[in-house]
Structure 1
Amino acid sequence: MTNIYDNANEMATVLRQTPQYAALQAAFGKMKADPIAYGLFQQMQKLQSELQQQQMANQEIGDEDIKKMQDFSAKLMKIDVVTELMNQEREMNGLMDELNQIVSKPITDLYRD
């Protein structure tokens, strides 16, 4: 019997060879090379993490936090390398959705019978 984890690791290796991954990697590299864009990106990630922790702790997210997140998002969307990264993320997410449908098909089929 095959080890499902070996298959998953093989899939991860093959995923790194896809055009979508290469484009995402290139877009991230460009964004990372721009100190302003990357600095804002890191601040946005930190804020997202803090808000997620608040949600997990059942703490209400305040209007100020929401406004701060919207402001960061608006700033980031004005930077070309960030919008390119987001476009490539959408492409990668599309591929991941397709793969998830394939992998979860046995479970979907099970409940259809």
Structure 2
Amino acid sequence: MTNIYNEINALEGAFRKTAEFETLKEAVEVVKADEEALNVFKNFRKIQIELQKKQLAGEDLLEDELVYAQKAAQLAQQNEKISAMLEAEMKVSKVIEEVNRILLKPIQTLYEDIQ
């Protein structure tokens, strides 16, 4: 019987070697090296996390919170270093989505005949 955790660890090692991951890693380092970009990104992430916590708690988001979050997002996207990092992150996410789709294929196959 296969030890799936050994296989997953091998996949993780292969994932780290993909061009998409390497590009993201480099983009993160560029942002970290630029104090202004880093502060803008930290603020953007802090706001995102706070709003997500409120949503998960079932709290309504206030209009001024949404406006502030939009302004923080715009400021982050206007920074070319942050923008490049977010673009690289989206490409990594596509790889992860594809891996997830492949991993779920056996389960989907099990249910194909049930309709």
Give the aligned partner of residue 6 of structure 1. Answer: 6
Q: Deviations over 1:9-66 (max 9, x none)?
A: 2211111011110000001111111111110111111111111111111111111111
Give structure 1 regions of 4+ aligned residues with deviation exceeding 2 angstroms.
none
Q: TM-score, normalised by structure 2?
A: 0.92
Q: Superposition pairs for residues 13-28 of structure 1, below 5 Å?
A: 13-28=13-28
Q: Quote the RMSD (CA, aligned, Å).
A: 1.0
CA distance in 2, matches of 1:101, 1:19: 20
Q: Unaligned stretches of 5+ in structure 1?
A: none
Q: Aligned-pair distance for 1:6? A: 1.9
Give the aligned partner of residue 49 of structure 1. Answer: 49
Q: Aligned-pair distance for 1:70? A: 0.2
Q: Unaligned stretches of 5+ in structure 2?
A: none
Matched residue SS, 1:43: helix
% identical equivalent positions: 29
Q: Read off the aligned partner of 1:39 and give its amino acid letter.
A: N
